[in-house]
Amino acid sequence: MDQITTLVIGAGQAGLAMSRCLSAFGVEHEVVERGQVAERWRTQSWDSLNLLTPNWMTRLPGFHYEGGDPDGFMSVPDLIALFDRYSAQSSAPIISGTSVVSVEPADSGFRVITDRGTWLADSVVVATGYCDLPAVPGSSRGLPASITQLVPANYRRPAQLPPGGVLIVGASSTGVQLADEIQQSGRQVTLAVGRHLRLPRRHRGRDVLWWLDELGVLNQPAETVHSIEISRHQPSLQLVGKPDHSSLDVGLLQDRGVRLVGRVLGITRYEVALADDLIANTAAADVKMAEVLTRIDRYITRTGFPAEDPEPFRPTWPAALDTPERLNLKSEGIETVIWATGYRRAYPWLRVPVLDDSGEIMQAGGFTPRFGLYVLGMNFQSRRNSSFIDGVGADAWTIAEQIARSIAGVRVA
Ligand SMILES: Cc1cc2nc3c(=O)[nH]c(=O)nc-3n(C[C@H](O)[C@H](O)[C@H](O)COP(=O)(O)OP(=O)(O)OC[C@H]3O[C@@H](n4cnc5c(N)ncnc54)[C@H](O)[C@@H]3O)c2cc1C
């Protein structure tokens, strides 16, 4: 059995950032990864995926983007290469190809059992990802076996799909990107639109994320929002990282031939029951977008910040005010359903009593109720951007400092 001060589980951006910060504090540690560095990006991305955050937002502890295209959007192969370089430059002590199968309390810390040996660690940082597992509604079980079902993690390209139409459930960042790509490949896409956050890619001459960064919206602290639970369950921003900096929203998809319908309520074999909420959801997204853009406009007026004139606001008008209450997959020729319905987490290996009733790790700023056990990379962990590449570093510094102090015997309140 090996003894270690700190064991980090997972070598995605969170685990790598954590390792960099622990090294800076001189804390002995190892990073255990079941695959390779950036495993999630290597094995669960579709071919055309680019980051939706501009390159200048690729900031990690001890690293910021210095390439020639700060406003561009990185492809996944380039991102993986970047994480490989970052890991090498940090001399991150990564033990790859090793899965953690159990973490349990031990006398002075934790016993961590992996499929390649056991560790005794004074502290453990769980960095296994916010987007760990697909959150697929139970209604998916109502579909017959003849319908192909996919989640974004196992979608690669349109050619992999069987012939016929495609129903995509969910219109956040992933759903709208897949709907656009598959419709453009020549298939008829039907998009079931739930709650979503519409944003234009650019506003007043700059990337919309540049404005939100400038306004401090992206690193807004968790304690300053009205309800952290509501904020943590917001849908992802409806943005796409295209070389031409174009926007993508459900109105544009409709112009390109995608059929918009309401939220999926239930499924009985080929019959899909739909909510009558398409207009309500698109109108709510338009209002929210108008609020965000108005906030930016007010900032420009107040500060005199140089900016272009605003573009005219284009409301979303569903083609039919009377959207269908039912969809028959057979008569519509739909052979594939893609569940772009978000992510969940599961910690069957975590045998420390820190999980709440819904199975999430109880935490405040990454500190769990069990001293020495931390989590990193959760949505809105301490700030809005905690699960983003750009935001995970601040949380990693805080946790590394706490671990360093606990070694020195100083417990941070
Ligand atoms: C489609 C998509 C697009 C995104 N686009 C952006 C973007 O443009 N910009 C941005 O900032 N963020 C983006 N994100 C959000 C975020 O950056 C990613 O989810 C990112 O992968 C999170 O990094 P992480 O290190 O927290 O988790 P992960 O990358 O999920 O890493 C967790 C690691 O833990 C390992 N692991 C899990 N369980 C175990 C175990 N039991 N034992 C050992 N190892 C284990 C996994 O193999 C994995 O390598 C996107 C997310 C998704 C899903």
Exposed/middle/buried for 231, CB within 10 Å: 0-12, 13-18, 19+? Answer: middle
* C-alpha 203, offset from chain centre: 23
Give the pLDDT confidence score for residue 321 in this predicted structure: 66
Ligand 1 atom nearest 38 alpha carbon: 49
Q: Are strands 100-106 and 117-126 parallel, antiparallel or unpaired?
A: unpaired
The answer to whether 231 and 271 have CB atoms below 8 angstroms apart is no
Task: Output the CA 40–ligand 1 centroid distance in Å.
Answer: 6
Predicted confidence pLDDT, tens digits, the chain (413 residues): 899 999 999 999 999 999 999 999 999 999 999 999 999 999 999 999 999 999 999 999 999 999 999 999 999 999 999 999 999 999 999 999 999 999 999 988 999 999 999 999 999 999 999 999 999 999 999 999 999 999 999 999 999 999 999 999 999 999 999 999 999 999 999 999 999 999 999 999 999 999 999 999 999 999 998 888 888 888 889 999 999 999 999 999 999 999 999 999 999 999 999 999 999 999 999 999 999 999 999 999 999 999 999 988 889 987 766 789 999 999 999 999 999 999 999 999 999 999 999 999 999 999 999 999 999 999 999 999 999 999 999 999 999 999 999 987 755 54
Task: Identify whether the C-beta of residue 84 lies closer than 8 Å to the C-beta of residue 38.
Answer: yes
Tell me which residue has its CA closest to atom 35 in ligand 1: 10
Are the beta carbons of 294 and 286 closer than 8 angstroms? Answer: no
Q: Which atom of ligand 1 is nearest to the CA of 45?
A: 1
Alpha carbon 10 to its chain's center? 16
Determine contact, residues 18/24, Cβ cutoff 8 Å: no
Q: Best mutation site among 133, 389, 392 for ligand 1, i.e. most ligand atoms within 8 A of its Cβ?
A: 389
CA 364 to chain CA centroid, Å, is: 19
Burial class (CB within 10 angstroms; exposed 0-12, middle 13-18, buried 19+) of 409: exposed
Q: Which atom of ligand 1 has the smallest separation from the CA of 174?
A: 1
Atom of ligand 1 nearest to the CA of 390: 11
User: Ligand 1 atom 30: the closest Cα is on which residue?
Assistant: 129
Contact 31, 97 (CB under 8 A): no
Residues 44, 79 contacting (CB under 8 angstroms) = no
